[in-house]
Structure 1
Amino acid sequence: MSTTPDRVAVIGLGNLGHALAETFLRQGIPTTVWNRDAAKADALVAAGATAAATAAEAIESSELVLVALLDATVARQVLTTAGDAVAGRALVNVTSGGPEDARELATWAAEHGARYLHGAVYAVPQTIGTAGSSISYSGAQDVHRRWQPKLDLLGKGTFLGADAGLASGYDVAILAGMYGMIGGFLHATAMASAAGVRATELTPMLLSWLADSFPALTTFAEEIDRGGYTGGESSLAMNQAGLSTIIRASRALDVPPDTLLPIKDLIDRQIAAGHGAASLSRAVESFRSAA
């Protein structure tokens, strides 16, 4: 299969990879696809895609190759198997993983003559190609600049820097915050239900309270970056007392306080070290001291 400058290749046809390929096809862009389970390409082939027999064949068909596989280990395995086929290609890897996974793959790509750009996708597959999709990139800026018109078809793109691990660094941190929020929400609804309050009745009030609380995160972020935790209206000691009350209430409602105990432990450790008057944001130091 000969390389053409207008063609793109998509490696991996799970929910995300399928959505990427489908978006390119909707825009009239010739698209080669490959997946270990070849049957997953059938619907895309019916829509105009070209199915490759191997990952190497798909990679050789295009200068721009998007990789959307299960995880970083699978991405490394597939690309390693393709070997020299990656030479001269722009590899845009949107497979989930940690910062070190991205850096290691960027090094491997460079050793094999490829340029590497890592992407973190903030979208559910059905919103790829719409205003509801955004993708952060890091790594080879020349790849982002050269292929930005095509990449921007997938969602609003932001280039974060030359360190290939940056996009994943942001991604895993943001997702950790998201899951923490969801855990808090589930705990809140369990407590509300035990108290006779429906989740749908609680949620509007919870959302209003959270929206009013969000500006505090900006203040906390500034305190964390400068390493200065003095003053402020939300001290560790005050939050320790508040959490103790909520934990007792949760247990009284027969709701295990599983989501509250870890943050209480972080606070307790800082207070034990003599920092009870410091801002709540100082609890981040408990993560650092445990490293």
Structure 2
Amino acid sequence: MNERQNSSSHPHLAVTVIGLGPMGRAITRTLLGAGHPVTVWNRTAARAESVVAAGATVAATPAEAVEASELVILSLTDYRAMYDILGSATASLAGRTLVNLSSDTPDRSREAAAWAASHGAAFRTGGVMVPAPVVGTAASSVYYSGRDRLPESHRAALALLGTPKRLGEDPGLAQLMYQAHLTVFLTTLSGLMQATAMLGTAGMKAAAAMPELLFAADSIGAVLRAGEAAPGTALDAGEHPGELSTVTMMGATADHILETCTSLGLDPTLPLAVRSHYHHAIEHGHGGDSWTRIIDGIRAPR
């Protein structure tokens, strides 16, 4: 569900941002640019200097930061940091809305929602799906989930950060989507570095190799859409037609990649992991199925 709202009717909503890494600073600048008074707090005070210069107000303590606004946005390393920082400010949480945009596990997001509720605060889990420089642009989007219905003014302020995509009431669902996106992202980055290292053994510089390799990353979407109007439909139906690329074919490629990396003296961890998915499917009699059959071994590892 798209919750993007027009924030012009709520231009003066005060917002607190706790955590001023690159993402926290980008969030603060976006809110300030839209006319919102923003109070900030960060363990390392020097990180506040740039946003203070842009108009933000620094709170002396976490409690003071919380008390400055009804809407409190957290951009921290993990959820443990939320407890460490707000543990001394629990008496100030009642009636506030906490929106935690930090990365952690779905279970910890659910625990945090219960913790916030125990102190009288509404809670929304969020996952920003773009790097800090893109926050606040048309290309930005943020997944949210949680049981509490947020006031329109809060939703309007959050919509400034990126198109809000509401996933449901489970506080862990937005975190799960965020981690799923990062699984694709981080695995792709590791693959890119593995491939760059492979070509580097032949003397090819990264500046020449990476533009070619990025083409492979860009082609993933085309591969997924090939032969299927809505990617994932066949997977949901338990169907794995092997007309285009079979487990056996992809498994043979995975064997070749591992052999190549081993012969080049490179770390085999990534190619070994990839190959294991295909071997599992072949060992269970699915060599003629589509490569998507490898999801069985991921769902039920041996």
TM-score, length-normalised on structure 2?
0.85
Q: Which residue of 1 aligns with 2:95?
A: 88
The SS at the match of 1:142 is coil
Q: Which amino acid aligns with 1:277?
A: G
Letter in 1 for 2:256: T
Q: Determine whether 1:254 maps to 2:261.
A: no
Question: CA separation in 1, counterparts of 2:143 and 2:239?
Answer: 30
Q: Percent identity?
A: 38
* Cα separation, 1, equivalents of 2:286 and 2:68: 60
Worse-superposed segment, 163-172 or 46-55: 46-55
Contact 2:137 2:162 in 1 (8 A): yes
The runs of at least 4 aligned residues of structure 1 exceeding 4 Å deviation read: none
Q: Distance in 1 between matches of 2:301 and 2:18?
A: 39
**Residues 141 and 159, structure 1, Cα contact 8 Å, conserved in 2:** no
**What is the aligned counterpart of 2:276 among 243, 265, 269?**
265
* Aligned residue number for residue 5 of structure 2: none
Corresponding residue of 1:222: 233
Tell me the distance in 1 between the aligned counterparts of 2:29 and 2:199.
43
Aligned CA distance change for structure 1 residues 67 and 191 (closer, same or farther; 3 Å): same
- Cα distance, 1:208–1:17 mapped onto 2, change above 3 Å: closer
Quote the offset at 1:120 in angstroms: 0.6
Cross-structure match for 1:36: 43
- Separation (CA, whole Å) in 1 of partners of 2:257 and 2:49: 53
The answer on whether the counterparts of 2:15 and 2:71 sit within 8 Å (CA) in structure 1 is yes
Structure 1 residue 141, shift from structure 2 partner: 5.8
Task: Return 281-290 or 208-217, whichever deviates more.
Answer: 208-217
1:133-185 deviation line (CA, Å, top 9, x unaligned): 32221114621744222112222222222211111111111111111111111
Cα shift at 1:86: 1.0
Query: SS at the partner of 1:260?
Result: helix
Residue equivalent to 1:184:
191
1:52 aligns with 59
In the alignment, what sits opposite 2:294?
283
Q: How does 1:207-218 map to 2 (within 5 A)?
A: 207-218=214-225
- Provide the rounded CA distance (Å) in 2 between the counterparts of 1:249 and 1:49: 54
**Distance change >3 Å, CA 46–CA 248, structure 1 → 2:** closer
- The answer (yes or no) to whether the contact 1:230–1:279 under 8 Å persists in 2 is yes
Matched, 1:242 2:253: yes
Cα pair distance change 1:274/1:155, threshold 3 Å = same
User: How far apart are the structure 2 equivalents of 1:213 and 1:150?
Assistant: 34
Q: Distance in 2 between matches of 1:226 and 1:203?
A: 37
Instruction: Name the SS for the 2:167 alignment partner.
Output: strand
How do 1:99-248 and structure 2 match up within 5 A?
99-140=106-147, 142-143=149-150, 145-218=152-225, 221-248=232-259
What whole-Å deviation, never above 9, does each CA across 1:173-232 have from its counterpart, x for those lacking one? 111111111111112222222234444444444444444442333556334322222443
Distance in 2 of aligned mates of 1:12 and 1:244: 45
Contact 1:223 1:281 in 2 (8 A): no
Which residue does 2:285 correspond to in 1?
Answer: 274
What SS is found at the alignment partner of 2:128? strand
**Range that drifts further, 226-235 or 64-73:** 226-235
Of the structure 1 ranges 173-182 and 147-156, higher mean CA displacement relative to structure 2 is found in 147-156
Greater shift after overlay, 253-262 or 235-244?
253-262
TM-score computed with the length of structure 1 as normaliser = 0.88
Distance in 2, matches of 1:25 and 1:207, equals: 36
Which structure is higher in RCO with an 8 Å CA cutoff and minimum separation 6? 2
CA contact (8 A) 2:122 2:148 kept: no
Supply the RMSD in Å over aligned alpha carbons.
2.3
Kept in 1, the 8 Å contact 2:242–2:291? The answer is no
Question: Residue type matched to 2:239 in 1?
Answer: G
Contact 2:123–2:148 (8 Å) recurs in 1:
no
The within-5 A match list for 1:19-34 is 19-34=26-41
The answer on whether the counterparts of 1:141 and 1:161 sit within 8 Å (CA) in structure 2 is no
Report how many residues are paired. 287
1:87 deviation in Å? 0.7
Unmatched tracts of structure 1, length 5 or more: none
CA distance in 1, matches of 2:167, 2:252: 40
Q: Does structure 2 retain, via aligned residues, the 8 Å contact 1:117–1:144?
A: no
Q: Is the 8 A contact 2:188 2:217 kept in 1?
A: no
